[in-house]
Structure 1
Amino acid sequence: MSMLFLILCKTGLRHKLRMLPGKMVNTVYSDEEKGIQDRESKEETILAMLGIIGTILNLLVIIFVYIYTTL
């Protein structure tokens, strides 16, 4: 029973050791967590780009309205 538990733990998680200056950090990520982090990263990038595009469009509208009202 304990061997089965150890095998399930070993195959379910991937252990990664990363060397940092003066420290050794053990980070454990499952494939699902990596996928979720990648997806969230892509969503944040898309939302940031939409925010920048929206800001530029708002500035263009303000400029055109200013020019239209002053003529």
Structure 2
Amino acid sequence: MCSAISLLMQCMVRLRRKPQNVSVKMVNTVGNDEEKGIQEKESKEESILAMLGIIGTVLNLFVIIFVYIYTTL
């Protein structure tokens, strides 16, 4: 019992220690022109996907309305 408590105390002391900061320099390997081109392409893709989502939602609403009208007649 005593050894378990001492083991827990040691673990708590180790967890309370602050981690050492390691300075790492990040290097950007992509050029600015290429990065802008990639961002524009992703933006265009996202806008196309958003438009397809809106169109799909509208079509689904039409189908729901049509099925409702058809089943109530």
Tell whether the structures are fold-level matches, with TM greater than 0.5.
Answer: yes
1:64 aligned residue: 66
Aligned length: 44
What 5-or-longer segments of structure 1 have no aligned partner? Answer: 1-12, 14-28
State the superposition RMSD in angstroms.
1.5
1:32 aligned residue: 34
Matched, 1:45 2:50: no
Identify the structure with the greater strand proportion. 1
Q: After the TM superposition, which parts of structure 1 deviate over 4 Å for at least 4 consecutive aligned residues? A: none
What 5-or-longer segments of structure 2 have no aligned partner? Answer: 1-29
Q: Percent identity?
A: 82
Q: Who wins on radius of gyration, i.e. which is larger?
A: 2
AA partner of residue 41 (structure 2):
R
AA partner of residue 51 (structure 1):
G
Identify the structure with the greater helix proportion. 2
Give the Cα separation in 1 of the matches to 2:40 and 2:34.
Answer: 10
Does 1 or 2 have the higher relative contact order (CA < 8 Å, sep 6+)? Answer: 1
